[in-house]
A and B are shown apart, each in its own frame.
Chain A
């Protein structure tokens, strides 16, 4: 297995002022007996609510955080012990941060990567050309990074993470804040990277479409624990997630009767909202409504990932979860 995570824990000690000269020590269990493996060439979505422990996991996988317990291997290397050696095998993009030199042209950062990762000259030239073309950055190479838009900078960061041909790419919210076109570009690129080069990808995101379009496998983490590991469809089932069909009729009508396949959740003038299972096709439903009602327009809304996860966690979650942090005074 390329990535092995076995019973890994991460406990943060936080000190909090509770009064004059009084401090309370608390432990935050960010990751709790986490175990999974990822095979070479897999593309895995790693999702969960805010504070679930995703970024913490990625930091441990890059070696910049030492686990409090458990065993962790990436390409056979213990990340926190051999951070430098591992560095040549991995690429990392933290969507909220940049690896690029802020005040200098984009190309300067790439030249630095060339030296830092000791990429052979021919390889570097070839990779740079290919990546820059795929991510449409040609015209931006001489622009100082601080003048790039968020989406341009993100693409710039992805190039920087891949110049040295890493075996695995960790992406922590790579599409955060991007517009639809930039998102599509990044996704197309990642898909190609994975299929053509066989790069293993671990991706955290709050955007369900990232997962839908890229990952055959998802892992859901909550309060530092792995709650689900399997295909996306299974997640929809477990979360009984629903898509929404928004129907605009030609005039105000009573709630649509669409049979057992869907139910009306909201009516507002001629517009009606129908919920139906995310695992079902919308086609028969649309056909039925179109046949029976004066249809003006319609659109389908994907379920919100947080809602799906929340539902899934609730459906699993019989037992109340332990709070994420426990005071030990």
Chain B
């Protein structure tokens, strides 16, 4: 279909665009590797004190760390994905150009972000993960089926991640500036995705809540699918439900924005 080819081309463009930032990619690989090592030793100390914290053994905790470093840029957990460009385009009025084209705004940015995600995973995420797998004991599955399920969970996580960031970016149509919302996006993303600690270590009602928020679909779910800690069908359903809800909300907000709100600049 024509539309399929268009959005494939858009995604390919997103992929290649991020591939042009070689220095940033190299710096990212280094940072994620270094950060992974620091976190691994922190986690190991913590798990020494409290074995089976959150239901993970030490190898699983280590796996969780390296998966987090692998998906950090892939899922733009602290922001810095295409929503940054989108905010800038709304703020400066360059969005006008995206609007008069015969392409759907949300699908366009989703495709770009998927291309970006794929590059960030292959170019930036895989290396720290491999470093972790070589130098630390990890709890990786041996069967192809689990890996396949992990990839599906990862794809759903990408949709959820985009869904959140797209909503945030569209708010700039009303706020006219993305500074504040970017900060919120960063803090919530890092904490509620489980970048600091796995969400299943949090006890009580707070734990119950953070585990059903959309951010839980980003890192926690793919990690648990990979390590066989959760039912695959349940995980997919949880992620898909959030993906659908967020993307639908994005569509609503998008039509409100393009109908009511004004394109900035002359």
Contact = CB atoms under 8 A, between A and B. Distances in A.
Nearest to A146: B20
B96 A97 contact: yes
A116 B101 contact: yes
Contacts of B20: 103-104, 144
Contacts of B265: 96
B262 A94 contact: no
Contact of B102 (A96, A111, A117): A117
Given A96-B266, A104-B13, A87 B6 contact: no
A111 B17 contact: no
Interface string A7-44: 00000100000000000000000000000000000000
A66 B9 CA distance: 30
A92 B96 CA distance: 10
A97 B16 contact: no
A115 B96 CA distance: 20
A64 interface: yes
B199 to A, nearest CB: 36
Given A104-B16, A108-B13, A62 B100 contact: yes
Q: How large is the interface on B (under 10, 10 to 19, 20 to 34, 35 or more residues)?
A: 20 to 34
Contacts of B100: 62-64, 83, 87, 90, 92
Interface string A55-86: 10001001111100000000000000001100
Given A104-B16, A108-B13, A65 B263 contact: yes
B97 A87 contact: no
Contacts of A87: 100-102
B5 interface: yes
B195 to A, nearest CB: 28
A115 B259 contact: no
A62 B96 CA distance: 9
Q: Which of B6, B100, B259 has the most CB of A within 10 A?
A: B100
B9 A112 contact: yes
Contacts of A94: 96-97
B6 A115 contact: yes
A144 B97 CA distance: 19
B6 A99 contact: no
Contacts of A97: 93-94, 96-97
Contacts of A12: 262
A66 B97 contact: no
Contacts of A108: 13, 16
Contacts of A96: 265-266
Contacts of B258: 64
Contacts of B103: 116
A116 B17 contact: no
A189 interface: no
Given A97-B94, A103-B17, A66 B259 contact: yes
25 contacts: A59-B96, A59-B263, A63-B99, A63-B100, A64-B99, A64-B100, A65-B262, A65-B263, A83-B99, A83-B100, A88-B102, A94-B96, A94-B97, A96-B265, A97-B94, A97-B96, A97-B97, A101-B13, A103-B17, A104-B17, A104-B20, A108-B13, A116-B102, A116-B103, A144-B20
Given A64-B258, A83-B99, 19 more contacts: A12-B262, A51-B266, A62-B100, A63-B99, A65-B262, A92-B97, A94-B96, A103-B17, A103-B20, A108-B13, A111-B9, A112-B9, A112-B10, A112-B13, A115-B6, A115-B9, A116-B102, A116-B103, A117-B102
